[in-house]
Chain A
Amino acid sequence: MAITNLSGTRFRLPFWRQLGDWAPTGISIIFGYAVLFILYFPIVMLMILSFSGEPNTGIPGDWTITWYEDVIFADIAKRDGEAYGSNFRVGDPLLLSIMLAFITAVACVIAVLIVGPILPRIKWRGPFLVGFLMPLMIPGIVGGVGLFMWYRLVIHVKMGIWSLVLAHFVWAFPFALLAMLVVASRFDTRLMEAAEDLGAKPWQRFWQIEIPILKPGIYAAGFFGFLLSFNELPFSIFMRSGQDTLPLYLWIQSGAHNTTVPLIFAMSTIVTIGSIGLTFVAIKLAFGGGKNDVK
């Protein structure tokens, strides 16, 4: 688009301002949001179908909460030692998953506090970064097989809760670290030096300077660790021992019979809504506000 100014010379609008009225841009925006629609349609549909009478057909309607009752009561009946219609019992997997997610979150926060503040300050951070972020570029299935090969085949250790914790930590730590690095690279180390000059002891510098400034990164690391562990599947397939995590249990059930599909929908809906809620809390705590920014 050319615009004529008062003196009569024609000049062009900057490129990025012309993008708005560029026809291909319009198409690309439509396509982009179309893909986002494809991404979110099944999530919304999951929630709608979990309240529908016949979820298997994918047709909403005939509203009911019977699937949710089944999910809850089947588990309570099992705890009381009674028989109940369905064989679908999510209680133990749910507890295991919450426990794993909590441990992973705490581990992520500790690890990120060790690595995050120091990494932007050292000269040879390249190799460390590549090493720490490597799992992001490894398909979960390969990482899982690798852990399995090393611990089970090569050094012959029995799998247990520890192996699930290890796998979930390996999977979640890179994401937690990324979040922390975004915060930590903005950390002005002169604040620490000033505190030292003013006589602050190491633990005072840690608690009163480092922790408050890094707080958004700490929150993010904790929430990311929790959520990524809670929904993790590929690593868990190989690192479990007897007990199933919730995603594993739903995964196995969904392969088994059609009759449990409505219950899987109901349970997945609960988990999805919980995860979305936690994600929003995490984003708000970690990146919202910006009050903690020290420039």
Chain B
Amino acid sequence: MPRLPAGVWSLSGFSLLWFGGIVLPLLAIILVSFLQGRGLNINFDPTIKQYERFFSYGGGEMLARSVRIAGTVTLIELLLAFPFALWLAKGCKNNTVKLLTFTALTVPFFLSPAARVIVWRSVFGINGVVNQVLLGAGIVDEPVLWLIFSEFSVHFGFIGAFFPTMVWPIFLSVSLIDNDFLEASGDLGASRLRTLLHIILPLALPGIVAGFVFTFIPMLGDAVVSSYMGGNNVLMLAAQVQSLIGVSNFLVAAALAAVVLAIMLAFQVLLWFALKPVGGLAGVFASLRR
């Protein structure tokens, strides 16, 4: 006899609370970005002045830089993570190696992001160990300055920090591919490249898109790596938002956050379409049941 499972009411209640915890704040960003006022006093007069201000202060350049850096690193991660995840899911037969790699890919999620990168400043600094070695070996005559607080160091810091977020979704989607498909493809005479392009890639696409979203979006809003590795030389979104809030320029900060939100929503739509062939998010969990 089908009936409503007990607990639907508590689920609804919790969803309402959750609405106040995350949906209302996101709507508030959009709302506030179209208002005017000073400090904590805002009046409800719609305007697009905050966006004009943001772009006239060179916000567009900063935004473009953030998107460019996050995009570049995400592509690098994809190139590094896809073959690695493919091997981990289908090629690696050693269970100990697998388990160790899984653990290595999981632990960083639960560590302080700051503790994970702060050492690079000492390693790459003017008096840091890299420069001392280079000077000592006579490879350079004076300390290399672009090792830290530069675009190089920001890219470098991101690559390590955001690798697991790219590997996990691709790994999951590849390991869900039935081995019979690969075998059939081989039996029918397809080359390995053909199998990769026509079987694995289409079936792993949801994972690739998910990896892209889970890597690109948090990186775009990252507050830690960009400021530890980039200092004031490579100003990115998060630092800009923080400094705007710091000087009580809440409305322009809201406009900036709204732009990020728009980028994020575009990617969520992309993810939704990518997951559609496998039955959406719910389908992913249904497949876990097997």
Contact = CB atoms under 8 A, between A and B. Distances in A.
A187 B116 CA distance: 37
B241 A115 contact: no
Contacts of A114: 7, 10-11, 14
B238 A139 contact: yes
A28 to B, nearest CB: 3
A224 B182 CA distance: 36
Interface in B170-206: 179, 182-183, 185-187, 192, 195
B182 A265 contact: no
B63 interface: no
Interface string A110-132: 01001101111110011011111
A154 interface: yes
Interface string B90-122: 110100000001011111111111111111101
Contacts, number: 308
A16 B182 contact: yes
A118 B228 CA distance: 43
Contacts of A49: 119, 122
Contact of A233 (B21, B110, B112): B112
Interface residues of B, number: 109
Contacts of A189: 5
Q: Which DSSP category, helix, strand, loop or mixed, fits chain B's interface? A: helix
Interface in B118-135: 118-120, 122-125, 127-130, 132
A153 interface: yes
Given A15-B192, A29-B84, A114-B7, A152 B21 contact: no
A43 interface: yes
B129 A59 contact: yes
Contacts of B195: 15
A257 interface: no
* Most A CB within 10 A of own CB, among B129, B271, B282: B282
Contacts of A18: 192
A90 B11 CA distance: 39
Contacts of B253: 145
Interface of B: 5-8, 10-11, 14-15, 18-19, 21-29, 31-32, 40, 42, 80-81, 83-84, 86-88, 90-91, 93, 101, 103-120, 122-125, 127-130, 132, 156, 159-161, 163-164, 167, 179, 182-183, 185-187, 192, 195, 213-214, 217-218, 220-224, 227-228, 237-238, 241-242, 245, 250, 253-254, 257, 260-261, 264, 267-268, 271, 280-282, 285-286, 288-289
Nearest to A137: B217
B264 A231 contact: no
Contacts of B88: 32
B280 A251 contact: no
Contact of A279 (B107, B186, B250): B107
A115 B25 CA distance: 22
